[in-house]
């Protein structure tokens, strides 16, 4: 016995990119296993699908802007996957959420045609191509008079700050603090979301809030409208308050992000894919220019997963999959794959202005046009591990994750089906 298992494809990482790549591969008939050190970035992100918000000016029509970006930046992930794949990936995503475990819950918005802008917890307007239906009524163009509701118990959401910044942007917004009986000192939106699953609690919440409302036609709440049936909770609260209601993304834990994880991991299960959580991949077993197997740290001993194809969806600097050591050397930690976009030795990695374009920001695993890693013929890369993008400036993170994951599964299908690879 050698603690080794064989799959058709092994995916490293359980964020949006990893779960989507694995689901697509499994839907194509492959036996797929996802290996992840822990839960991925879904729980930390707003739960929106941001495709292209700034390029570098504010983008109104993501589709054409994306084609322009691809033409001017050939190393950008969108240039590698192509605009058509982005559109297909978004369509698949919308359909997958709709068929998922949360009744009525879906993603809506202008997509590639017309990007919407939705209030953030700070009262800025964030551009997103698609948002959960629970956020839809917050689209800035449709907002009339608005009140932002918060509760002092939620220390990371300040309705007056949010409303003041929205007012400065020309939106008629007012803050309404409401007292909630939360029996713990460390209340967060997740705790409240679990209460919102209970219709009785929702009714009491609305009864307490309703008298505080004035002539506003819209009510913005921190994103906490429940985990089990957020669509039902939204409809219930809108009906009780007689106003359009929408969620505003919060600091982690992200309730909409948790819903997204539930939806995507459920799609993976339905397609027959496996998820091994807690299994940190620590190294690869190489044979020439191919990875034969990867090694995970399981309890007591290492466990080996062999496959003809590997998908690296491990994230970038934020997840720790790419790291910069104290000698200012950047490396991909799992397989030691070559990076692209790292400034040459002696050049600055960072510049003092935090919000500026940082020299290291676009570093990632070097890939060819088919997203195969340089130096590893059977390793494909997707999501935040890709070079050439600055998602937090572009507001493009989920768009890149979805489209590159979608493309990776296509490429594996094409290569696995080709005679040259079949005999390799």
Residues that bind another protein in the complex, under the rule CB under 8 A: 1, 3-6, 33, 36-41, 43-44, 183-186, 188, 190, 194, 252-253, 258, 266, 269, 274-280, 296-301, 303, 319-320
Shortest distance, position 308 Cβ to another protein, whole Å: 15
Please report how close the Cβ of residue 43 comes to another protein at its closest, in angstroms.
5
Q: Which two tokens stand for residue 58?
A: 């504010």
As a whole number of angstroms, the distance between CA 330 and CA 359 comes to: 13
**Cβ contacts of residue 260 below 8 Å, gap of 6+?**
16, 42, 47, 97
Quote the CA–CA distance of 244 and 134 in Å, as a whole number: 10
Closer CB to another protein, residue 243 or residue 303?
Answer: 303
- Report the DSSP beta bridge partners of residue 293: 285, 306
Q: How near is the Cβ of 251 to another protein at its closest, in Å?
A: 8
Q: Which is nearer to another protein, 73 or 266 (CB)?
A: 266
- Minimum CB separation of residue 266 from another protein in Å reads 8
Place of tokens 């570093």: 363
How do 280-287 and 290-297 pair as beta strands?
antiparallel
DSSP secondary structure code for residue 138 in this structure: G
The answer to whether the beta carbons of residues 34 and 334 sit under 8 Å apart is: no
CB 225, min distance to another protein, A = 16
Q: Name which of 137 and 258 has its Cβ closer to another protein.
A: 258
CB atoms within 10 A of CB 307: 22
Number of CB atoms found within 10 A of residue 421's CB: 15
Least Å from the CB of residue 408 to another protein: 21
Nearer to another protein, 145 or 285 (CB): 285
Give Cβ neighbours of residue 291 (< 8 Å, ≥ 6 apart): 284, 285, 310, 335, 376, 378, 379
The partner residues of 330 in beta bridges, in order of sequence, read 324
Tell me the C-alpha distance between 342 and 350, whole Å. Answer: 11
Nearer Cβ to another protein, position 169 or 392? 392
Tokens standing for residue 180: 């909630």
Least Å from the CB of residue 307 to another protein = 12
Which strand (E) or helix (H) includes residue 304? strand 302-306
**Closest separation between CB of residue 395 and another protein, Å?**
21
Residues forming a β-bridge with 107 = 132
Instruction: Quote helix, strand, coil % in the chain, to nearest 5.
Output: 35, 20, 45
Task: For another protein, give the closer residue by CB, 186 or 353.
Answer: 186
- Please count the CA atoms within 13 angstroms of the CA of 21 that sit on its side-chain side: 35
- Give the residue with the Cβ less far from another protein, 300 or 344: 300
In the bound complex, what is the minimum distance in angstroms from residue 90's beta carbon to another protein? 26
**Which residue number, 4 or 414, has a Cβ lying nearer to another protein?**
4
Q: Which is nearer to another protein, 268 or 415 (CB)?
A: 268
């Amino acid at each position: 016995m050698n603690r080794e298992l064989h799959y058709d494809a092994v995916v490293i990482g359980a964020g949006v990119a990893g779960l989507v790549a694995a689901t697509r591969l499994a839907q194509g008939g492959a036996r797929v296993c996802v290996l992840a050190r822990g839960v991925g970035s879904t729980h930390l992100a707003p739960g929106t699908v941001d495709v292209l918000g700034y390029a570098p000016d504010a983008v109104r029509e993501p589709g054409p802007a994306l084609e322009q970006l691809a033409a001017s930046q050939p190393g950008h992930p969108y240039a590698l996957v192509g605009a058509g794949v982005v559109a297909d990936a978004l369509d698949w995503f919308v359909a997958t959420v709709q068929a998922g475990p949360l009744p009525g819950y879906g993603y809506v918005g202008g997509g590639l045609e017309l990007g919407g802008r939705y209030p953030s917890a700070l009262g800025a307007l964030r551009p997103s191509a698609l948002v959960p239906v629970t956020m839809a009524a917050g689209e800035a163009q449709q907002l009339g008079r608005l009140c932002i509701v918060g509760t002092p118990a939620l220390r990371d959401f300040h309705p007056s700050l949010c409303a003041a910044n929205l007012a400065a942007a020309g939106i008629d917004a007012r803050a309404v603090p409401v007292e909630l009986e939360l029996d713990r000192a460390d209340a967060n939106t997740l705790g409240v979301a679990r209460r919102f699953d209970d219709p009785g609690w929702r009714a009491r919440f609305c009864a307490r809030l309703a008298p505080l409302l004035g002539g506003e036609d819209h009510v913005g709440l921190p994103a906490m409208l429940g985990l089990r049936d957020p669509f039902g909770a939204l409809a219930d609260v809108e009906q009780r308050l007689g106003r359009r209601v929408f969620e505003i993304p919060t600091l982690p834990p992200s309730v909409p992000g948790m819903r997204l994880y539930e939806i995507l991991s459920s799609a993976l299960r339905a397609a027959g894919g496996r998820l091994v959580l807690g299994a940190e991949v620590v190294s690869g077993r190489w044979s020439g220019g191919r990875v034969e197997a990867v090694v995970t740290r399981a309890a007591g001993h290492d466990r080996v997963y062999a496959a003809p194809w590997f998908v690296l969806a491990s994230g970038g600097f934020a997840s720790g999959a790419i790291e910069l050591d104290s000698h200012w050397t950047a490396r991909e930690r799992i397989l030691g794959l070559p990076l692209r976009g790292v400034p040459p030795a002696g050049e600055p990695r960072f510049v003092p202005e935090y919000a500026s374009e940082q020299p290291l920001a676009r570093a990632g695993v070097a890939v060819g046009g088919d997203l195969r890693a340089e130096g590893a013929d059977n390793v494909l890369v997707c999501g935040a591990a890709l070079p050439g993008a600055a998602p937090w400036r572009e507001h493009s993170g989920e768009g890149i994750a979805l489209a590159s994951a979608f493309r990776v599964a296509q490429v594996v299908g094409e290569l696995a089906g080709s005679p040259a690879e079949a005999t390799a």
